Amino acid sequence: MPPQPPPSTAGGMQELLEQLEALEKTANLRSSIDDVQKAIDLLTAARNNIAEQPQTAPLTLAKLQDPLKRSLEQAQKDLKPIYSGLNKYGKALDKKFKDKPLPSASNDALSSHPQLINRAIAMHLLREGEFAVASTFVQEANRHPPHPEPTPNTPNPALNEPWEKDLAEGTLNSEKLQEQFVEMYHILDELRQKRNLGPAILWARQRSDVLEARGSNLEFELCRLQFVCHYAGYKAQSDDLMEDDSEIATGPLEAWNYARREFVTFQRRYAGEVRQLMGAMAYWPNILESPYARYFINDAAWEDVATSFTREFCSLLGLSADSPLYIAATAGAIALPHLLKLQSIMEKTRTEWTTQNELPVEIPLPPSYHFHSIFVCPVSKEQSTDQNPPVMMPCGHVIAHESLHRLSKGGRFKCPYCPSESHPKDAIKVFL
Amino acid sequence: MAELTTTKLNAESHLILDQPLLRTPYELSRRNQKTAQRYVENTNKDILSNLTTATKAASKSTAPDATLASLDTMISKMQGLKRKMENLHEEEMRIHKSNRARLEHLQDLYEVQSLVDVKYDEWSRIRLSRLLVDYLLREGYSESAAHLAASQGIQDLVDVDAFVACHKIEKSLREEKSTTLALNWCKENAKELKKQQNYLEFQLRLQQYIELVRQGHEKGIGEQKLMEARAHAKKYLSNSGDFGLIGRAAGLLAYKPWDEVEPYASLYSPTRWTSLATLFIKTHHALYSLPPRPLLHIALSAGLSALKTPSCHSQYASTSGTPALSSSTTSVCPICSTELNDLARNVPYALHTKSIVESDPVVLPNGRVYGKERLRVFNEGLGTERGWVRDPGEGLGGEKWRESAVRKVFIM
């Protein structure tokens, strides 16, 4: 067989793993312990000898001298391979991390806000469903409130702003939040494991107004899935399709009844979809060959509603659907190599980072880590802020407010991107 | 020009946060080996001299009892050594096992090529749990730390025991104002501390002296305590070479704790115990190659900045990534979420050199910009009458406009 080509990730932790294996297998205390046991055996044999024949004591002891010394020395000698094995391991470790310094704490803005970190952690634990850990933590943190430490931006953390004081005293209303996440996990569990839409539909129905005002389709999506379940003869808590399709079509009948009962409220917003679902009635029992098949054979549907449920649930609490702590820590790990590179360049060139409000380098993140639209003025290349918002000229091109003023000097001016001319007062502020 | 977004994962440069993960078990292994060496050396010397003595004694007298007794002593000493070595061996194997788990965990990252791979997601979640346990341990929340580690099954990837031991000593300094545990620790690590020229032990001895002097002054009958203090200073402080400090320490004999005369008042001050505790932690972390700050701080500081945009703390509602306003295809921004919003207030925001907007942007008469497709989907979900549009940021409660009032906007 031809030898396997080396994997593209050659190196990795392989060298360290090999060194560790040597330590585990041979270079450990085992052989020294055996040497110690040998010494004990020698001593015990000598002792027994003398106990039996007391007159031989001087001779026995004299004879003991050398072998005992040897086995004791051996015990010491057998420690050496551990020492050299660890040394080799240490060198490999240094090599592995040679160009990866431990990040310094130079831009640690967080030490002055331990209460906020604690709150973020408690919320993270709750939203990840680690309820027991969360309650241990909230109790422990209440018993031992953290000590804020000064940082450059907050030199006097003792003079906490009120919102931080509130947190320090109440830490956070974790019980209420926990109740909510317990509810969320209960509903998700019913959805994913038991294929029971009931609790989710109830939850959505109770919040119908808010969800509708947000333009959310959640309630309808849930009910549509329920309709499909009835139609296909799914029963909550059992995955069996009803097999007796030769008899009366109980499934479609139930679905029909369900639709008449529940779809009234959806008539206005989802008239089209409802009509399609009802149209499916005609195709029983050949639904899978019908144009409606996509509604009925869609395993992803359960995961989809679970995901949109989680998103709506968290949004109504003002929270993002994935743990912000997770996203931020991950983004941080992605950003660190870039920041460290910058740091070393700045040290070399003895420059300082002049823009306090903005990072001096661009950090490439995966697109899923972009949450807001970003406006960078094509004229000044500056990012828009509340003080310098984007404005749209009558031609539809957008530049930053400051750029507009610089270009127009108060009078009519030509758009830098098309021939049209306008007056600054015709530009309108836009929001991204 | 640098790429603006990337999904490529370079494991080699991604491991910046993970050096301590491997350093700690390495330091622990070394310490373990040194302890074993010390035990063996000491016992060997002891046993060989015992044997010489016994041999000499046996040649002089014929009574076997004494010989037997000294052999018994030697045997029990050797058995004691063996027991200690067995314990160290167990510890050694435990450290190796946890080290192996760590190396394999890091090796896992080399098998992932992309930041959007589900496997990276799983790996990163384990990393977050590790960082959280590390943070909890440093803050002294050991119960929570152990609980989280057990619940996530990552006991091998975190150093609960090392931190618990460290905190016990720190607490004895900070709260019980006792130097015993800390001095024991210094003795165990004497060699390494000497190499680092650490002055923790000296500071602890100085504190002992200060306490003796304080008692001497407070008790009235303190002449004896003051004598003790002098003897203590002679034994432990006099060869430090810091004559200024020794002079000040000697001055304590003349100034009483309540005299409030500097520099003596600050030597008497109870805050010295807090600084001792801090100094101990610093020394401990340096010895075990633990970074001085929680890694979570480092990861979060970088992450908050990388994600933060001017919109996250703007007084105007953003049309994207905002929680309660509208249900849409964009997810809620983590920096806007309650957990991190206040925390991110003081960090700089990310640098961008190019606009990032939805495709086909249009502007509503109120100036708010949306992707055309998202606006359509939203209004369909809302059930807006045909020919009209509503602002997703305001929903049913807001104004509605004719579709013709929606304009195309050019963002370059």
Separation in Å, CA of A241 to nearest CA in chain B: 32
Residue A254 placed within a domain: yes
Dihedral over alpha carbons A4, A9, A13, A19 (to 10 degrees) = 30
Query: Alpha-carbon Rg of chain B, whole angstroms?
Result: 33
CA A418 – CA B102 distance, rounded (Å)? 59
B58:A58 CB<8 A: yes
Provide the residue type at A69 as one letter.
Answer: K
User: Which residues share a beta bridge with A391?
Assistant: A399, A429
Nearest-CA distance B323 → chain A (Å): 5
User: Phi and psi (nearest 5°) for B124?
Assistant: -65, -30
CA dist., res. B294 & res. B138, Å (int): 7
The verdict on a CB contact (< 8 Å) between A51 and B367 is no
pLDDT tens track for A148-198: 766 555 555 444 443 334 444 444 566 777 788 888 888 888 888 888 888
pLDDT of residue A394: 92
Residue A391 belongs to what H/E stretch?
strand A390-392
Residue A345 neighbours by CB under 8 Å, 6+ apart = A351
Q: Nearest Cα to B344, choosing from B380, B315, B310, B389?
A: B310
Alpha-carbon distance A381 to A375, whole Å?
9
pLDDT digits (tens, 9 = 90+) for A327-381: 999 999 999 888 888 888 877 877 766 666 888 888 888 888 888 888 999 999 9
Contacting residues of B for A37, CB less than 8 Å apart:
82
- Best of B78, B164, B296 to disrupt the A interface by mutation (most A CBs within 10 Å)? B78
Q: Which residues of A244-280 are buried (b: 16+ CB within 10 A; e: fewer)?
A: eeeeebebbeebbebbeeebeebeebbeebbeebeeb
Q: What is the pLDDT of residues A14-23, one digit of tens each?
A: 899 999 998 8
Closest CA to B295 of B119, B136, B165: B136
CB contact under 8 A, B381 and A216: yes
Residue A358 domain-assigned?
no
Q: Which of A330, A192, A46 is nearest to B126 (CA)?
A: A330
Domain closes at, from A128, A143, A158? A143
| Residues forming beta bridges with residue A154, ordered by sequence position | A151
State the pLDDT at residue A9. Answer: 40
* Contact between B391 and B379 (Cβ < 8 Å): no
Cis peptide before B25 (omega within 30 of 0): no
Residues A430, B36: C-beta atoms closer than 8 Å: no
Q: How far apart are CA B82 and CA A75, in angstroms?
A: 11
Higher per-residue confidence, A25 vs B88:
B88
pLDDT in the model for residue A285: 63
- C-alpha B109/C-alpha A169 separation (Å) is 41
Q: What span, in angstroms and rounded, lies between the C-alpha atoms of B379 and B365?
A: 16
Structure tokens at A64: 């003991």
For residue A353, the model assigns a pLDDT of 63
Q: Do A321 and B357 touch (CB under 8 A)?
A: no
For residue A113, name the pLDDT band (cuts at 50, 70, 90): confident
Using the beta-carbon criterion (under 8 Å), do B106 and A392 form an inter-chain contact? no
Chain A residue with minimal CA distance to B376? A215
**Domain extent at residue A242:** 177-316
What token pair was written down for B82? 């063996």
Determine whether the interchain pair A140/B103 forms a contact, defined as Cβ–Cβ distance below 8 Å: no
Sheet of strand A390-392, all strands in order from the earlier edge strand to the far edge: A398-400, A390-392, A428-429
Residues A66 and A138 in one domain: no
Residues of B in contact with A90 (CB under 8 A): 26, 30
Cβ atoms of residues B126 and B105 within 8 Å: yes
High-pLDDT (> 70) share of chain A, %: 80
Task: Give me the pLDDT at residue B29, please.
Answer: 92
| A336, part of any domain | no
Asked if the structure places residue A229 within a domain, the reply is: yes
Number of Cβ within a 10 Å radius of residue A199: 17
Q: Which among B2, B22, B356 has the least Cβ separation from residue A373? A: B356
The 3-state DSSP class for residue A264 equals helix
Which parts of B189-236 fold into alpha helices (H)? 190-195, 200-218, 223-232
Contact flag B82-A103 (C-beta cutoff 8 Å): no
**pLDDT confidence of residue A166:** 42
Instruction: Indicate yes or no: CB of A327 within 8 angstroms of CB of B347.
Output: no
CA distance B399 to A17: 65
Query: What would the two tokens of residue B125 be?
Result: 């979640």
Residue of chain A whose Cα is closest to the Cα of B101: A17
**Cα B361 from Cα B44, distance rounded (Å):** 83
- β-pair type (B388-390, B400-402): antiparallel
Q: What is the DSSP letter of B404?
A: G
CA distance B105 to B107: 5
Task: Report the predicted TM-score, pTM, of the whole model to 2 decimal places.
Answer: 0.82
Closest-CA residue of B relative to A209 is: B396
pLDDT at B269: 78
Does B135 contact A103 at a Cβ distance shorter than 8 Å?
A: no
Cα separation, B172 vs B174, in Å, equals 6
Distances in whole angstroms, Cα of residue B36 to Cα of each of A80, B84, B89, B91: 11, 8, 9, 11
Chain A CB contacts of B148 below 8 Å: 125, 130, 133, 137
Is A367 a domain residue?
Answer: no
Look at residue B5 and give its three-state secondary structure. strand
Work out the pLDDT band at A143, boundaries 50, 70, 90: confident
B367 vs A contacts (CB less than 8 Å): 392, 428-431
Edge-first strand listing for the sheet containing B361-363: B369-371, B361-363, B407-408
**Which chain A residue's Cα is nearest to B146?**
A133
Gap between the Cα atoms of B136 and B331, Å rounded: 29
- Give residues with Cβ within 8 angstroms of A46, minimum separation 6: A60, A61, A63, A64, B71
pLDDT the model gives residue A167: 42
Tally of structural domains, chain A: 4
Rounded to whole angstroms, how far apart are CA atoms A378 and A403? Answer: 9
Residues 176-235 of A with CB under 8 A from B: 211-218
Inform me whether the C-beta atom of residue B234 falls under 8 Å from chain A C-beta atoms. Answer: no
- Contact residues on chain B for A146, CB-CB shorter than 8 A: 139
Instruction: Please give the single-letter amino acid code of residue A392.
Output: M
How far apart, in whole angstroms, are the C-alpha atoms of residue B71 and residue B68? 5
- Which of B14, B58, B62 has the CB atom closest to A61's CB atom? B58
| Backbone CA torsion sign across B368, B371, B375, B376 | positive
Q: Which residues in A lie closer than 8 A to residue B3 (C-beta atoms)?
A: 364
A203 with A270, same domain: the answer is yes
CA-based nearest residue to B149, from B164, B133, B163, B161: B133
pLDDT of residue B341: 85
Which of residues 307 through 336 in chain A touch B, CB cutoff 8 A?
311-312, 314-336
Closest CA to A293 of A243, A231, A244, A219: A231
Spell out the per-residue pLDDT of chain B, length 412, in tens: 345 667 888 888 888 888 889 999 999 999 899 899 999 999 999 999 988 888 888 777 767 788 888 889 999 999 999 999 999 999 999 999 999 999 999 999 999 988 888 889 899 999 999 999 999 999 889 999 999 999 999 999 999 888 888 989 998 898 888 888 888 888 888 888 888 777 888 888 888 888 888 877 776 666 777 777 777 887 787 777 677 777 777 777 777 777 777 777 777 778 888 889 989 998 988 888 888 888 899 899 889 999 998 888 887 777 766 544 444 444 578 888 878 888 888 888 899 888 888 888 999 998 889 888 888 888 877 778 888 898 887 777 778 899 999 999 998 8
Give the pLDDT of residue A294: 64
**CA distances for A279 relative to A292, A416, B128, B304, angstroms:** 8, 55, 49, 50
- DSSP 8-class letter at B395: G
CB A127 within 8 A of CB A318: no
Residues A119 and A218 in one domain: no
B363: which strand partners? B369, B407
Domain at A377, CATH number: 3.30.40.10
| β-sheet bridge partners, residue B402 | B388
Taking contacts as CB-CB distances below 8 angstroms, the residues of chain B near A216 are 327, 381
Spell out the alpha helix ranges (H) of A263-323.
267-280, 293-296, 300-316
Q: Is A69 on the interface with B (CB under 8 A)?
A: yes
- CB of B78 within 8 Å of any CB in chain A? yes
Residue linked to tokens 């005002």: A213
Cβ within 8 Å, pair B139-A356: no
- Whether A79 and A33 map to the same domain: the answer is yes
The answer to whether the peptide bond before residue A285 is cis (omega within 30 degrees of 0) is yes
What is the DSSP code string of A99-141?
Answer: T-PPPPSTT---TT-HHHHHHHHHHHHHHTT-HHHHHHHHHHH
- Residue entry with tokens 């607490």: B171
- Predicted confidence (pLDDT) at residue A234 exceeds the cutoff of 80: no
Name the pLDDT band for A60 (thresholds 50, 70, 90).
confident
What pLDDT was estimated at residue A312?
Answer: 84
Q: Between chains, do A398 and B100 touch, taking CB under 8 Å as contact?
A: no
Run of H or E residues at A398: strand A398-400
Our CA angle for B63, B65, B70, nearest 5°, is: 115
| 3-state DSSP percent of chain A in helix, strand and coil, to 5 | 60, 5, 35
Distance (Å, whole) CA A58 – CA A46? 11
How many Cβ atoms from other residues are within 10 Å of residue A158's Cβ?
10
Pairing of the two strands A421-422 and A413-414: antiparallel
Tokens matching residue B96: 């190796």
Domain spans in chain B, listed from the N-terminal domain onward: 11-156, 167-287, 304-346, 361-408
> Helix or strand or coil: residue A428?
strand
For residues A393 and A422, is the Cβ–Cβ distance under 8 A? yes
Which CA distances in Å does A354 have to A341, A351, A360, B306, B347? 17, 9, 8, 17, 14
ipTM score assigned to the predicted complex: 0.84
Report residue B49 as tokens. 């001299």
